[in-house]
Structure 1
């Protein structure tokens, strides 16, 4: 049975990924500060802290790993005006997304079997922004670069790709206009991302790439009427 670690497993997207992997027959370890979804092994881990990551891998005790999904990270992009953004807050966001992916990937390398897969969760915010999202956008942009750098360094044994979600929701409190502005006609769902994880986990000729799942929003010209 194949084994996977999913970080940020208690989040909306993380839960969806865990459930899809379990349904597909994977054994899944859910790394998070909160318990993961059912049928996973929950391991408490602060991915941005080196000691916590090392302790989590030791607690897990696996001698083989097939897939690492680096999904953890501070969820709210808007951290307020840059002039008021503290260094501590900046580091909190960057560590949760970028440093966490580095620490988790570094720890996973020695546990991968004959083949391994790393999937980094980036964002369409790596290439487009709303105001007051500097730390989040910088983290995701750097994670895109880390993805192709690791793909070259770790290949051919380990394939490394990224998924860039757009607007993903559980479907609550959405307006018709929220759906209609997407070229596909709806806001994204966690299962959309989970399906992409399953695809990349088995796509043996793809590495160093970013798969964008945003319903076409980054290909749509938007002008004020």
Structure 2
């Protein structure tokens, strides 16, 4: 991936957190980026930031979209097709319905319907939407170029919590584990039929407290909220950064031989790592 070969990239959940960091990274590298997010305030904010991020002929567009709404997702893909002239090089399924745990200090034993409603939302955004977007984007990806000799590619952002959960992460862990199975199956199906590659990234602890509107207003640095102990927990000597994920994305986009794989980005000890609260 280089500015001399600009790509057309779709990122879900691109107004905050890891998604926002990827938006900034690829726009500043000269690529054109389309961002989908459900938070209008954060979308407005990144729209105001994006012009200072971009280089060269890079363009961007943002759209508010509730990924639970299949019709809205279909409309978003139609707009992507229009914006990118029927071509998509990279689809990054990153969005998840926050918080990762049950809201309002609930647990899975809660006897109200609220937990089930929240389960439905988290699974819809974190697992069903990536499947739906993958389906709808096939014609665009077939016309795309992730490498000079291969069509577009899909990257699903999973989590180390797919393998080792924490308390009250049932929906999050289930969705992120489901993404790994979906990645494998889509890689086989779309690879054999269209040569579209599908891979997953499994982040460990990626610190993104500075990747939102409020943090920008306060001038929060990446290090804010991290302690020496947080770094010591990691054999790599630090907590992860958005740039670590961006480098993994670049590798998966540019390596035309890699598909159906899980790339772990973790400075800990992989799946055995238990992070402190």
Q: CA deviation at 1:117?
A: 0.5
Partner Cα distance (1:219, 1:131) in 2: 16
Q: Structure 1 or 2: larger helix share?
A: 2
Contact in 1 for aligned 2:164/2:271 (Cα 8 Å): no
1:160 aligns with 2:160: no
Partner Cα distance (2:26, 2:179) in 1: 23
* Structure 1 residue ranges (4+ consecutive) displaced by more than 3 angstroms after TM superposition: 219-222
Contact in 2 for aligned 1:47/1:103 (Cα 8 Å): no
Q: CA deviation at 1:108?
A: 0.8
User: Which aligned pairs between 1:212-223 and structure 2 lie closer than 5 A?
Assistant: 212-218=264-270
Instruction: Name the residue aligned to 1:182.
Output: 234
Instruction: Name stretches of at least 5 consecutive residues in structure 1 with no aligned partner.
Output: none
Instruction: Name stretches of at least 5 consecutive residues in structure 2 with no aligned partner.
Output: 1-5, 52-59, 145-150, 209-222
Contact in 1 for aligned 2:14/2:20 (Cα 8 Å): yes
Q: Tell me the TM-score normalised to structure 1 length.
A: 0.93
Q: CA deviation at 1:128?
A: 0.2
Q: Which has the larger radius of gyration?
A: 2
Instruction: Name the residue aligned to 1:54.
Output: 74
Instruction: Name the residue aligned to 1:96.
Output: 125
Contact in 1 for aligned 2:92/2:156 (Cα 8 Å): yes
Partner Cα distance (2:31, 2:98) in 1: 26
Partner Cα distance (1:12, 1:219) in 2: 22
Partner Cα distance (1:219, 1:98) in 2: 21
Q: Structure 1 or 2: larger strand share?
A: 1
Q: CA deviation at 1:23?
A: 2.4
Q: How many residues align?
A: 222
Contact in 2 for aligned 1:178/1:186 (Cα 8 Å): yes
